[in-house]
Structure 1
């Protein structure tokens, strides 16, 4: 696998991980016991830390990319293994 392919796969995993991790650890102002600003949405986060989300997404995406590349080179799971309809014959 070429390095450019690995970088592209890492970028895709990173974006998916970032969106997956966004809601974890975030509290609203009511949950945190902080006064709200007038006009603020009730669901607005009080403690949103994008750096922490990016760091966690970086670690998770690196692990998932490593697993993906290892599976690509070792062929642990192939296309025939995930063929649920039985339409792909053995190659």
Structure 2
């Protein structure tokens, strides 16, 4: 695999990891014990820390990408192993 392909796959893992990481560690204004701004939704986060989120996302994406690359190299799981309908084996 070319390094540019590996980098593109890492970027995809990073972008998808944002959705996994974003909900964790978030406190609403009620949980933080602070009054809400008029018109603010009850579920809106009290504070947002982009640096913490970016670090967490990078850690999760790096772990997932590493597992993907190890699987690519060693072939632990192949499409034929998970093919329940026989599409990869030419069976229709």
Structure 1 unaligned spans of 5+: none
4+ runs deviating over 6 angstroms: none
**SS of corresponding position for 2:38:** coil
Provide the residue aligned with 2:42 in structure 1.
42
Q: Tell me the TM-score normalised to structure 1 length.
A: 0.89
Q: After the TM superposition, which residues 1-91 of structure 1 pair with which residues of structure 2 at under 5 Å, given as runs? A: 1-89=1-89
Instruction: Kindly state the Cα deviation for residue 27 of structure 1 after the two structures are TM-superposed.
Output: 1.0
Instruction: Kindly state the Cα deviation for residue 39 of structure 1 after the two structures are TM-superposed.
Output: 2.2
Structure 2 unaligned spans of 5+: none
Instruction: Kindly state the Cα deviation for residue 89 of structure 1 after the two structures are TM-superposed.
Output: 2.0
**How many angstroms apart in 2 are the aligned matches of 1:19 and 1:88?**
31
Instruction: Kindly state the Cα deviation for residue 82 of structure 1 after the two structures are TM-superposed.
Output: 1.2
Instruction: Kindly state the Cα deviation for residue 47 of structure 1 after the two structures are TM-superposed.
Output: 2.6
- Report which stretch shifted further, 42-51 or 7-16: 42-51
| More contact order relative to length (CA 8 Å, sep ≥ 6) | 1
Instruction: Kindly state the Cα deviation for residue 87 of structure 1 after the two structures are TM-superposed.
Output: 2.9
Q: Tell me the TM-score normalised to structure 2 length.
A: 0.88
**How many angstroms apart in 2 are the aligned matches of 1:11 and 1:22?**
17
